[in-house]
Every structure is written in structure tokens, then in C-alpha cells.
Homo-oligomer: A and B are copies of this chain.
Amino acid sequence: MTTRTEHAASAPLLSATLSATDEIRVAVSTVIFSLRRSSGAERPAVVIPLVRRTRDPHDGQWALPGGWLGGAEGLEAAASRTLAETTGLAPSFLEQLYAFGDVDRSPSRVVSIVYWALVREDVSSDPALENVRWFDATALPELAFDHNQIVDYALWRLRNKVGYSRIAHGLLPGLFTLADLREVYEAILGRRLDPANFRRQVEGSGTLIPTDGFRTGSHRPARLYRYNHDVELAERGPLPR
């Protein structure tokens, strides 16, 4: 028995079920989360932008923004380009989510490297682009390809990660109240949090810097905080930046 290493293209394939690799194409897609407030709603909704397909397969269905990976383009660069083309925005957080490569996920063989991104609420207004619309991420129509499954997985990652990292701040503007921050957690987790417990936990976390500013309005004045940028939104480990 012989062994093979990656890039050993000319080694004989062991199984007849494996066919030539030149039929496999690589796409990059991005799940872009933001928050949207609607009057009367108990909490903001987690929303994502989708693009309506204008060709087959799945003509007319909504799909994640994305495109083919360019031959001279890195994976993260392709994800950033996708995001810029769809929303015109640079994300506050961008991370690789997962590579989806099931054989039958598309009529032709496509491996999609999927990223997920956060865009702050104050800059996620409806893009002035044809065929792009923001949807409530928890109430999507049937999407093209396996994109419903991809969004479900991205939501699961978001909910997990909000518990052990600082990524909630990727959805907030530069100055915010503790109530704003709590609302982000509530929107992601889909449930109410006790305000006093929440205040105690975040004040002990070292990630917030109180400012001298206050928000005034119909309620009593609330102190404005900013994020401590010495603390990274999420650990990347030894991956290159």
C-alpha cells in the first residue's frame, strides 16, 4: 500500500467513485448579521441580507451573497469583496464559518467556503442595490441550495460565541448604554435577560469603558459606554491577520 500527501495529483486514486478534481469549483459566501429595530417589537431582530437569484439554478429564490473565488484572491479577501458588493460596507467582525461541500448541494459540484460577519445596526440600512433585501434570520423563506442550513449553523455559532467572547460589540455603535448592550444579547439569544444580573456581569468583565456622556430622553439618563479595544472581539489564535 502506498500513501499519498496533499498535492500528489498524479497518484492513482484508490476508489472508482472518485472522479477528476477539475469538476469541483470553489465559491465564497457570507452570512452577514445585523440588528433591526421595529416599533412595537419587544427586542431588535437579528437580520441578514439576501440576494435574489436572477438565473438558474434556483432562479428567483433568495440566496446568501457570494461569488466564485478568484484565482488570485485569498478566501477572506473574497468574503470582504462579497460583503462590499452586497452592502457597500466593511464589517466590524469577519470570520470563517465552515466549508460546505456535500456532493448534491448544487447541480454542479461546488465547495462553498462560508464566512460570517457582523455589521453595526447604525450602518446596515437597506442597501440601494437591486435584488438585495434584509430578512429576519429566524424567519427565512426557503432559500436556494443549502443556504437555510448554512444560516442555521451561523446562528448557532453566533449564539454560542456571544456567551464566551465579546462579539456582541460588533453589532453596536461606538457609544452605547448597558440597556443597548443587553438588547443585543437578548436579540441573539431570543430571550429576556435580568437587567441587574446583566449589569453585574458586564461591569466585571473589563470590556467596557464608561464615558462622561449620558443618553437622555423619556427615561432617566443612562450612562454611555465604549468598548475597550484592548480586548479582541474573538480569539483567532495563530491564524494570520
* Contacts from A to B (Cβ < 8 Å): 1-11, 13-15, 17-29, 51, 53, 55, 57, 63-75, 81, 85-86, 96, 98-99, 101-103, 106, 108-113, 129-132, 144-145, 149, 152-153, 156-157, 160, 164, 235, 237-240
Contact = CB atoms under 8 A, between A and B. Distances in A.
Contact of A26 (B2, B51, B63, B111): B111
A15 B81 CA distance: 10
Contacts of A65: 3-6
Number of copies: 2
A29 B63 CA distance: 29
Contacts of A103: 72-74
Chain A interface main SS type:
loop
Given A8-B55, A131-B3, A72 B17 contact: yes
A86 B3 contact: yes
A132 B74 CA distance: 31
A18 B73 contact: yes
